[in-house]
Structure 1
Amino acid sequence: MPYNISVAMCTYNGEKYLKEQLESIATQTLLPNELLVCDDCSVDDTLGILERFSLNSPFQVHIFRNDKNMGSTKNFEKCVSLCTRDVIALCDQDDVWLPEKLEKIISVFENLPSAGVVFTDALVVDEELKPLGYNMWESTNFTNKEKKDILNGKPINTLLKHNVATGATMAFKSLYRDRFFPIPANWYHDAWITFVIALYCDLRFIEEPLIKYRQHGAQQVGGIKNENFSLEKGFKNTREYYKKEHEHYIVALNKIIELKDQVASSQEIIKLVRQRVDYLQLRAGPPKMKTKRLIKVMENLLTMQYHKYSNGFLSAVKDLLFKP
């Protein structure tokens, strides 16, 4: 079936790079049907650039200015809610799309009707769009095993470890929108959308960089390349970090329980998420009594939680040496 496309773009003081992004959308080999823009109270020429672009755009452009600053997650939630087409492609203000991005994404939806989310790799570039020598998936450490899990219908195994679908590269079917609303404040919008839709249907990816993902000082989340494993890296995450992650997955667990009657294999997924929650609780604050701490650490070593989600034995040693 043919799919109509909405592009959901959020802007905030984006005048420096916005023109290039808009031009890259307007020169797609498959044009979207509409561009929805929610501006989060910009004080530069962002709105002027958008309005001038809309005058000669090859597709409909709808511009909305927030009455107050909402922040990235809630701004994207609003923008997605305003989209009217079958497929919604998320869009940042500072990247550049390669010409065949939308065409190749839509081709996946057409060839695999069970897909709910399609995402791509990205070429990581500097402010002047010069390649930095690596792609996004190298930055996020999207492994071959994780790719196989996704292709074999087990995306939750990967998403419980980390989000691999960067919002600027992804598109999803709008029919799932009501199921992931509202987007929790302690989740990034792209991670939450991907996680919830993965409960219902397939994820698919394109092993090709289809955007230039620009790195600059004003970014909220960048694509910094991971360093090689080191002792320092193994000990870097703080108890506060794990407390936040614990809260993060408590929200996910409650959502799955809420949707369990709609989700195939919901009991198995709930079990996996509960394991993740329990593990994060351990990392956030191991038991003060040494015997109980040793038992908890050994349990999580035997179930491979340390190896799946952290740095294996190194992380276990960290928790054994915990000082209350």
Structure 2
Amino acid sequence: MALYDGAQFLDDQLQSFAAQDHDVWDLTVGDDGSRDAGPDMVRAFAAAHPHHDVRLIDGPGQGPAANFLTMLAGVEGDPDWVALSDQDDVWLSDRLSHGIKALRGVTGPALYGSATWIVEADLSGQRRSPLFTRPPGFRNALVQSIAGGNTMLMNRAGWQLARDAAQEALAAGGPVTHDWWLYQLFAGAGARVVRDETPTLLYRQHGGNLFGTNKGLGATLLRVRQVLGGEMGDWTARNGRALHASAHRLTPGHRAVLEAFMDLRSKPAPERLRAFRDLDLYRQGRVDLVVLGLAALMGRL
């Protein structure tokens, strides 16, 4: 779990860990320089749960993506599973067991992510996160993240893949977000990616959210502004650099797709549109597909 000034909602999340029906877990918290009571709350939680190894370590002080990648690069021991958590959500009691059941028996690297219940700051107003109907895949991962890191779980081979690639990504400047990078890495490596439409946690929306839900008209208009302002292009370029640092971990076919994708913006418009069509990239939802086409047309993908 990444932590930064999260005391306001932290106790709810910590108590939801203690309430898991899969009771064999340890917790590593990377604190990125909190100025509130959050670190002390983690220490108190550790003292109250001596049968679990609860560790508080210093984060790199470079934001949540670098914090998560640093923790992944430093995973100790040989855990069967590694799950990621935000500081302000509330896990449902079967958050861990549900993800483990979905990946159990997969021998190669595997990544699990799920839908969520979106709630207000006081946990009221529960509504479902967007439903995704198209399957996960690398051609989707390059242009869209479909599962929040707060829902993600990896099997042993999966976190080993993430651990080994994390240092490479950090040396290249790091991705925009850790969850998007993980989806790209696993899909590009030909690993098993499971998107579960069963919600596994309460995803709290509040004024301090770094990234909120992507549902509704407001979210669509925001994505259009991100295209027009060049933000989407900057994100995909940064993600591309971070992923390219681990290109040797991708399948040959996906390496070729990544190279072609990174070369799109340098092409003149007619050639760019033909190359974009040939790549067969896709986002979940018809409106998002239109936004994607707009970004390609403007050379801001």
Determine whether 1:178 maps to 2:163: yes
CA deviation profile, 1:111-147 (whole Å, cap 9, x unmatched): 4334511111111111001135331xx1xxx6312x2
CA deviation profile, 1:286-305 (whole Å, cap 9, x unmatched): x4xxxxx4x32552475376
Shift of 1:239: 5.7
Q: Which amino acid aligns with 2:133?
A: N
Determine whether 1:18 maps to 2:3: no
Aligned with residue 102 of structure 1, among 96, 99, 106: 96
Q: Which amino acid aligns with 2:86?
A: D
Q: Which runs of 5+ in 1 are unaligned?
A: 1-8, 288-292
The 8 Å contact of residues 273 and 297 in structure 2, kept in 1 or not, is answered as no
Determine whether 1:237 maps to 2:227: yes
Q: Which amino acid aligns with 1:64?
A: I
User: Where does residue 299 of structure 1 map in the other structure?
Assistant: 274
Aligned with residue 60 of structure 1, among 44, 53, 57: 53
The 8 Å contact of residues 36 and 83 in structure 1, kept in 2 or not, is answered as no
Q: 1:206 to 1:63 in 2, by over 3 A?
A: same
Determine whether 1:29 maps to 2:11: no
Q: 1:197 to 1:83 in 2, by over 3 A?
A: farther
Shift of 1:193: 2.3
Inter-partner Cα distance in structure 1 for 2:82 and 2:280: 35
Find the residue that maps to 1:144 and give its secondary structure: coil
Find the residue that maps to 2:21 and give its secondary structure: coil
Aligned 1:111-190 pairs, distance under 5 A: 111-114=105-108, 116-135=110-129, 138=130, 143-145=132-134, 147=135, 150=136, 155-173=137-155, 174-182=159-167, 183-184=169-170, 185-190=174-179
Give identity over the alignment, percent. 20
The 8 Å contact of residues 16 and 92 in structure 2, kept in 1 or not, is answered as yes
Determine whether 1:249 maps to 2:234: no
The 8 Å contact of residues 265 and 272 in structure 2, kept in 1 or not, is answered as no
User: With structure 1 as the length reference, what TM-score do the two structures score?
Assistant: 0.76
Further displaced range: 117-126 or 158-167: 158-167
CA deviation profile, 1:51-107 (whole Å, cap 9, x unmatched): 1111121522111234x6232122112323244322110011100000011111111
Inter-partner Cα distance in structure 1 for 2:140 and 2:292: 20
Q: Which structure is higher in RCO with an 8 Å CA cutoff and minimum separation 6?
A: 2
Aligned residues: 284
Q: Which has the larger radius of gyration?
A: 1
Shift of 1:234: 5.2
User: With structure 2 as the length reference, what TM-score do the two structures score?
Assistant: 0.81
The 8 Å contact of residues 110 and 154 in structure 2, kept in 1 or not, is answered as yes
Shift of 1:47: 1.5
Inter-partner Cα distance in structure 2 for 1:75 and 1:250: 18
Inter-partner Cα distance in structure 2 for 1:27 and 1:302: 48
* Large movers: runs of 4+ above 6 Å: 228-233, 306-309
Structure 1 or 2: more strand by fraction? 1
Q: 1:228 to 1:275 in 2, by over 3 A?
A: farther
CA deviation profile, 1:149-200 (whole Å, cap 9, x unmatched): x3xxxx2122122111210000113322333222342331122223223314
Aligned with residue 196 of structure 1, among 175, 185, 189: 185
Aligned with residue 86 of structure 1, among 34, 58, 80: 80
Inter-partner Cα distance in structure 2 for 1:71 and 1:316: 27
Shift of 1:272: 1.7
Q: Which amino acid aligns with 1:156?
A: F
Shift of 1:223: 1.0
- RMSD across aligned C-alpha pairs, in angstroms? 3.1
